[in-house]
Amino acid sequence: MTTGRGGDFGPAAGGPARHIPVLRQEAVAALRLREGGRYLDATFGAGGYARAILALPRTRVLALDRDPEAVRAGLPLVTESCGRLTLVEARFADLAQIAERTGFAPLDGVVLDLGVSSMQFDEPERGFSFRGDGPLDMRMEGRGESAADIIAAADEETLADILYHYGEERAARRIARAIVAERSRGPIVTTKALALIIERAAPGRPGDIHPATRSFQALRIAVNDELGQLVAALGAAERVLRDGGRLVVVSFHSLEDRIVKQFFAERSGRGETLSRRLPGETAPPAPTFLSESRQPVAPSPAETIHNPRARSAKLRFGTRTGAPARDLEDALARLARLPNSGHGDR
């Protein structure tokens, strides 16, 4: 954990960021910042959200990032924030324990900017992208099982499951079959080698995204347990937000957005019948969030032109009520797990 010393902070502290968060203005507006409030930026990255929050006087920010490189790069901002920014290397699934341990709970707001930062994509040695050749890694924390390990060890059925469920890749069976055939001739350890295998197995059409895009997304999600982390983080945020606090989530693909949408629907009681219940029928639990209309919020055309990575982004938010936090429904957890059956190429 890294924290600065007391004082004040200006919006330009820390210098220019290498990564500007998508929908930053909209996310900060959804937080409804207040002077002196306590906020958690659960995906620090280059500190874009943290800077925007700290621009309001006397606010304090607890920021998390599981990437040690992002934490190291954020140390100057910690120093310049003069005690108003605390930066911790941690997964955002652990945000409730960290907020309580550091004295930030209850929180006035939590913001999650999901997915991978531009810095990670743009560094070939991290192995997140096939645009430059690098080791087939994809680990945000730099430890544990890598993408190359999964490619080497998973059976064909499991590989197809990963590609189909986490990448929504319709050619999952074909690609998995090609990977297994190729690895029998030698290990697949670079991003370029894997991308070429996928391109040969499932060639794209002119104007389509690169044939390897969905498979690389799927492997990254599997390596970092991104959907499981998201489900846990939503439940953790519910536990540490005060009555009236805001939860804001920016997602970048349909799997993430489906989880966030279902969480807010369940927690706000959306879809519950308002008619009288039968005698003895159990009433539903009180809503833990109020979810406002006109969601999701999408990037403006100007933002997508300036930053093509913004084109798929969706922002959803909710306001915490005073109702007790609830256990996570298994239906929500199932969205983060591989199914027992179902592939593409049927």
| C-alpha span between 271 and 336 (Å, rounded) | 22
| C-alpha span between 131 and 160 (Å, rounded) | 23
| C-alpha span between 336 and 266 (Å, rounded) | 16
- Domain boundary assignment for the chain: 119-224
- Model confidence band, residue 199 (pLDDT cutoffs 50, 70, 90): very high
pLDDT digits (tens, 9 = 90+) for 15-35: 334 556 789 999 999 999 999
- Model confidence band, residue 6 (pLDDT cutoffs 50, 70, 90): very low
Percent above pLDDT 90 for the chain: 76
| Amino acid letter, 231 | V
pLDDT digits (tens, 9 = 90+) for 45-56: 989 999 999 999
Provide the whole-model pTM: 0.90
Mean pLDDT of 292-316: 90
Q: Could you tell me the two tokens for 268?
A: 């706000």
- Decide if domain 119-224 falls under CATH 1.10.3710.10: no
Furthest C-alpha separation in the chain: 67
In this structure, are strands 38-41 and 107-113 parallel, antiparallel, or unpaired?
parallel
Is 37 a residue whose pLDDT tops 60? yes
pLDDT digits (tens, 9 = 90+) for 39-88: 999 999 989 999 999 999 999 999 999 999 999 999 999 999 999 999 99
Question: Where would I find the H helices in 36-83?
Answer: 48-54, 68-73, 75-80
Mean pLDDT of 246-252: 97
| C-alpha span between 35 and 31 (Å, rounded) | 12
